[in-house]
Chains A and B, each alone.
Chain A
Amino acid sequence: MNLLNLFVIALRSLNKNKIRSLLTMLGIIIGVASVIAMLAIGQGSRDSIENQISGLGSNVIMVFPGATFRGGVATAAGSAQSLEMDDLEAIRVNCPSVKYLSPVARAGGQIIAGSNNWNSSIRGVYNEYLDIRNIEVESGSRFAETDEKRASKVCIIGQTVAENLFDEYTDPVGEKIRINKIPFTVIGLLKEKGQGGMGEDQDDIIYAPFSTVQRRMRGDRQNIQQIYISAVSEEKIELASEEIDELLRTRKNISKYEDPPFNIRTQTEIVEMFTSTSNTMMVLLAGIASISLIVGGIGIMNIMLVSVTERTREIGLRMAVGARGKDILRQFLLEAILLSLLGGLIGAAFGILSSKLFVAIMNWPVTVSSYSVVLAFSFAFIIGVFFGWYPAGKAARLIPMDALRYE
């Protein structure tokens, strides 16, 4: 018997018991819908985390000095004085996978412009830092070449700082401000960046040349608090991080097996750190949803068994007129597969619909990925085959004589 005929027979038999078919499918419908919705919620939260972290910049690698122990007491990470300006230059020269790099000097303080004052954080960086973190200057300019050498008292300010120091009619570029009583000239205004991954205001920031902050505000010439580096491409992040690690170990005479007095963090690692939690959640939710799929499968098996018993005489007759065991197996298997696929289809529709509802009503970040639909669908198919096999096999093994006389 060809597939089309089998298909027609299976559809007809499902159609004869509409309510029963629908109830049987319900398990699969709920299972598939919940798998899709759960994966969509998981994927959504993952996407939003990734989005926020990509705000860090492109292909970012960060190098911090490690923690030190003073008399057995650990100090905060980054407090060791183990990264120096020479290390920075060595990285620039010796690591081919590094594109941009910039030291970061952090300071904070009171900023005064005319009669307004504001408290913000100041970062001493190279121009390259702006490239690494995709920070754009809206008006004015970036630092000049000479600013770094001379430790010029110039700065680029964020939108939030500008709003708090100047009224809306004043162009901040060219204005004088005082940071911790040191007079600075504003040479640029940053483009608005909005809220960061951790909810911080990325526009409440002032950038100044590295040497300016390092020498004039921190009074330090050698030690670097942090180095921002970008790799030449996303694929080269790992390689660049290895190159830096090797170089710094060599420079500081530390073998491969010792803990180095510095930490290297890549953007990938940070993304992984944050997404691993959401991954766990996603797997958990999808796992629970899959259980309902399996329960649905058992429902299908149950109904198929009833159906085989009910139709014993029909099976006997089909065999008497020439159906082989194989034909009977296919007929009932196809019926089970059809049940689960139809359930899968309706379930997928419900799953996508409910995901959209999550977005519309609760404003959750939900992303329905096509792979989750394919996954849930193929899972439903496999369940149809798996749970349909036993009843279909039972039907195929019936002895025609006995089946014909079954009451």
Chain B
Amino acid sequence: MSSTKNPYRPYPARLDNIKVETEDGNLKTFRIVLEDKADREAWKHTAGQFAMLSLAGKGEIPIGIASSPTEEGHLLFTVNRAGVVTTALHNMKEGDRIGVRGPLGNGFPVDTELKGKNIVIIAGGFAFTTLRATLIYMLEHRQDYGKITVIYGARTPGMLLYRDELEKWQARDDVDMHVTIDREAPGWDGLVGFVPTIAGQVAPSPDNAAALICGPPIMIKFTMPPLEEIGWTDDQVYLSLENRMKCGIGICGHCSVGPVYVCHDGPVFTRSQVQKLPIEY
């Protein structure tokens, strides 16, 4: 093997803490600590990037990094149990060894294009993970951004991620939180309604603003019209794509959408970039 770093070799890491996030038990947040001090020190990611979680004997999965770069010492990944590797991961316990390959992809332009802008974060379901990283990063660098508005929805109160943190953010006066659930539920006194409806009611101004939208495609589809109506344009809207991935470094072809590789050129694209691509995501 040549002396350059092998991009396929994961960092050894341990599962430090496992937290069940949702009432259906299908989403867990894994706190992961890289085993080697040198790896921990070398690790540098941007909000919106992802990593390959590597389970020896099972395979690898691309998962968005849910922790902000400002949360040092560990990484967080919130994982939905869906396939072979995620199921195996859900069956692991604290202290077990895992591999982490990354950080991969581009991330949100938090230190460049988004600086000085009013930020609107719109998330649905369990797509809130890298937006959690982004929000925490922005709150840590609060003076770099204008007004921050968050619209986050889930099916039921029990399906909301990061409940404790949501409450803390709601108590702050420097972030405008709108947490909603799809239908009335006992014990819920917050907003009720789908994310697109709430986005229409909140009607964030497009002036000097950027929207970061992550969620199921159907949510994104219906969220755009109310925003467009009040003047939002496609180059102000940032989306994060997901596709099947293997190499994570723009070679193997699985995640390609026309000429771009989601893993290497993305996962974050502006909506105007996405509009120019074939619909293969």
A and B interact: no
